[in-house]
Amino acid sequence: MKQAFFMRCLFFITGIIVLSFGITLTIKGQLFGVGSWDVLHIGLTKSIGLSIGTWSILLGLAILAFDMAITKKFPLPGTFIDMFLAGIFIDIFNYWLPDIDGFWMQLISYLTGLVLLGWGCGMYMVANLGIGPRDTLMLLMVHKLGWSVTRSRTTMEVTVAVIGFLLGGPIGIGTLLMAFGLGPIVQFALTFNEKLFMRWTGVKSAVV
């Protein structure tokens, strides 16, 4: 039992670090656009100030407050840990990594970031310790509005991307690639890390 919990924590923390690094690489390659939420985070940074990671945390807190007001339920501790650590690591990596110039270097940065983002998502989700605020909002839309996951996710992503673009955030082909290409990467990462988790602990994570 202790080993399984330790491995859950290891997968959870490592996954968050990997996805945060991936997000930062897509930001460094933003010539091609970034994910919808990062369009909003960057737009808020340009128009108001504060760091990208700080806006990620602040919006996450707002989403969780809204979710708790509607559902009257308190999120799992892992949801808060995910939110704060992701925001902190995004700012750390964004500070450490140099800006990238040139078409090909930005393309490599973006594509590498996309893969790492998807892999990190699949890895931290295997831990089954709580999901991020954005996924919480999506599930709230599904349960309260009766929408499908696809409709809820698409509506949410398009809305925040448009708002972020109006605030000065970068939109490009990479934004569309993120919307349609991230899912398969996350699914592959979930399956792979689920098998790895079971091999090391003998316990199924109950995610996939």
Q: Look at residue 208 and tell me whether its pLDDT is greater than 50.
A: no
For residue range 151-197, list pLDDT tens digits in order. Answer: 787 788 888 889 999 999 989 898 888 877 777 888 788 888 888 88
Q: Rounded CA gap, 169 and 192, in Å?
A: 34
For residue range 113-154, list pLDDT tens digits in order. Answer: 999 998 998 888 888 787 788 878 877 888 888 887 677 877
For residue 47, the model assigns a pLDDT of 93
Assess contact for 22 and 118: CB atoms under 8 A: yes
Q: Look at residue 5 and tell me whether its pLDDT is greater than 90.
A: no
DSSP secondary structure, the chain, as one string: -HHHHHHHHHHHHHHHHHHHHHHHHHHHTGGG---HHHHHHHHHHHHT-S-HHHHHHHHHHHHHHHHHHHH--PPPHHHHHHHHHHHHHHHHHHHHSPP--SHHHHHHHHHHHHHHHHHHHHHHHHT-S---HHHHHHHHHHHHH---HHHHHHHHHHHHHHHHHHTT---SHHHHHHHHHHHHHHHHHHHHHHHHHHHHHS---S--
For residue range 12-47, list pLDDT tens digits in order. Answer: 999 999 999 999 999 998 888 888 899 999 999 999
User: Binning pLDDT at 50, 70 and 90, where does residue 203 land?
Assistant: low
The fraction of the chain above a pLDDT of 90, given in percent, is 38
Q: Look at residue 75 and tell me whether its pLDDT is greater than 50.
A: yes
User: What b/e sequence results for 152-174 when a residue is b if at least 16 CB atoms lie within 10 Å of its CB, and e otherwise?
Assistant: bbeebbeebbeebbebebbbbeb
